[in-house]
Amino acid sequence: MVLASAIVLGFVAAWMLASGVLMHGRGIRFRQALLYLPLKLIYRIEDRALIQARDAEAPVIYVISHQSRLEPALMLSLLPDQTLHILDDASAQAFWLEPWRELGRTIAFNAEHVFVSRRLVRVLRGKGRLAVYLPDTVEPDVKAFRLFRAVARIAMQADARIVPIFVSGARHLPFSLAPAERAPRHWFQRLRISALAPMTMAELLQRAGYSQTTTANALFDRFAEARLAGTDLDRGVFGAMVDAARRYGPSQPIVEDVVSGALSYRKLLVGARVLGSRFEAMSKQGEAVGILLPNANGVVLAMLGLISAGRVAAMINYTAGAANVASAVKTAAITTIVSSRAFVQKADLGDVVAAAEQAGAKIVWLEELRDSVTTQEKLTAALQWSRPLAPQDASKPAVILFTSGSEGTPKAVVLSHRNLVANAMQAEARISISPKDKLFNVLPVFHSFGLTGGTILPLLTGIRLFLYPSPLHYKIIPDVARKIRPTIMFGTDTFLAAYARTAEDGDFSSLRFVVAGAEPVRAETRRVWRSRFNAEIIEGFGLTEAAPVVAVNTATHGRDGTVGRLLPGMRMRLEEVEGVAEGGQLWLTGPNLMMGYMTSDRPGELQPLDGWHDTGDIVSVDREGFITIKGRAKRFAKIAGEMVSLGAVEMLVQALWPEQRHAAVAVPDKRRGERIVLVTTAGNADAEALRLHGKQAGATELMVPHDIIKVHEIPVLGSGKTDYVAARRLALDQLGLAA
């Protein structure tokens, strides 16, 4: 009895002592510390971000992402005791939460009636503090978005500061509010609390980066940034992959191709470690090693193997032609390229391989590496699958990609681990995805959209990934889609239009949505996919330098004809362009912006990005924050002193001949400086009909091409973008202006 009493007393004393330490370390009351301590120990909570949140000057509104039943207990334990917590009915009545409710002031609210604004404004004006729990949704419906409007209105009226709070990992707790199939449960899930700096609504509106936005959108964007802040970007690509494996299950099938079948997280990381050990032996730390492989399991294994070994994966665009591949090898100072004999033979890439070798690269064949792997290597890798071969530094380069070259010579874009993970998580904070989804990626991994969005994003978020080797198999891809039943697909307008022409009505019926980028989505393509497959095309915008996604529409925040709204964590500014009345040239900054370029005149040397990046795109932004691409700065023709968007010309022509493809290019003109030439697949294209259509559409005469060149196919790059260099060369040849 004495021993038992001593044990109990010792336990109580230890609890009291630990609570005292916690009280002083976090600045909370002793009662709060007593109830917070068990949560802190069980979930190993990283909570230092709450210190700044507690010290925020009143009036202040804490906006908390309500992912599980635990957030109210955490916030009642950690926020100042004078904070008024606005709880949902379940939290206000839960019997187990009663001890925590005694720590502060709480009221229940009915979501149907939103908030009693005047009473809350009075509380805040009296130097009060509110804690509001908003639904955990990245795509709020109309009902949920009313809450953002209400909070923004209250904050404006009371001139209160906003502090968004996100508890990373909470949605995977046993008492998560998300369905189990969307968020696998873990009893002892580690939690990380992130809280952003206090800002008033006026400050949030000012930092939007464009002339106008709504208060609700400004708050919604700030709230999404808190979700992004919950990601540990210092873990790097490999560390984030291991975290995903543990979160969704090491045995969970995650990637699949048409040849070798499915791989689980564990098998993927075991294979990557085996290959990585071989890459270590043939290259130096930090060296760029080329990957010349199609969309298949092997390309993911090779990339992760190089990253695990501390090497940089340089993704070779084998569709760019022998000359561009040789240029890429020299620009990135690549001395070793990983490829596959079977792939090179099947894709007839002998000239590309020869050009790479002539440029100084040695080819290492995956088949030979695979055949030489010993049983001991496999066992060692199986035991240490979660450990990288070399120390990982998220600030160091992870991959090198090459710009498309649609307007000139390709450049090497160097992306860090932090760039890639940040962009994947920015997309996750904007688009509603979950492990219930299956992503069908036909875009090549050497293209930034196919790499980050089509490969890294699903691997980090537990989405089953199906890789297909070529987007050009227009007749086969619809058949594959019918068999594998994907819910998400990535593509470009060129590819999507081609698939629709060969598909049967049920082939893409499993899709929830299609994410399209790289080029504008035509209204005809959008109409066909809606009417035939009941699939919404979500248009986005990106560039290789941004890893690549910059903006995207969503199901609840979408607007046809735009590329959506800026991703969380990014900032933009518009600079005036001579001759452009509406909008300006887009400059960007954010955690996903590249480390810098490598160029052919300074091979292997990183030229760091200095602050903001000039995208070269002319855009306009409406008051809701939706971005409309007017065209590339290089894709404006200067005719008789006026700037004319070649992209706008293409849209004008597309409205007249919607089922055909068109490219507008500018060529020299002695009298007016430049003139516009239309390259088109429309066999019935006629200059007079185009002139009349332009007049009816209200287009200026300068926008109407007088020269029309008819072709069977518009030149395209491997990424699906129109090859404007080739199209302009074709126009110059046809018009006798090449000299």
Q: Annotated catalytic residue: which of 24, 66, 473, 693?
A: 66
Name the token pair of 402. 């090459």
d(CA 385, CA 399): 21
Name the token pair of 330. 């020299």
Would strands 627-632 and 571-575 be described as parallel, antiparallel, or unpaired?
unpaired
Name the token pair of 398. 């992870």
Closest-CA residue to 551 (of 619, 505, 639) = 619
Reported for 243-251, long-range contacts at CB under 8 A and 24+ positions apart, including other chains, are: 244/459, 244/460, 244/461, 244/462, 245/269, 245/386, 246/386, 247/172, 247/184, 247/186, 247/462, 248/184, 248/435, 248/462, 249/184, 250/385
Strand, helix or coil for residue 563 = coil
Closest-CA residue to 137 (of 127, 128, 148, 129) = 148
Which residues make Cβ contacts (< 8 Å) with residue 258, sequence separation at least 6? 296, 468, 469, 480
Other residues' Cβ atoms within 10 Å of the Cβ of residue 431:
23
d(CA 234, CA 342): 37
Alpha helix positions (H), 190-253: 201-206, 215-229, 236-248
Q: Strands, E, within 261-396: which ranges?
A: 261-264, 288-292, 312-315, 336-339, 362-365
d(CA 303, CA 289): 9
Strand partners, 68: 176
For the chain, what's the residue count?
A: 739
d(CA 588, CA 101): 44
d(CA 46, CA 40): 8
Verify whether residue 447 is a known catalytic residue. Answer: no
d(CA 79, CA 70): 14
DSSP string, 653-703: HHHHSTTS-EEEEEEEETTTEEEEEEEE--TT--HHHHHHHHHHTT--GGG
Kindly list the catalytic residues: 66
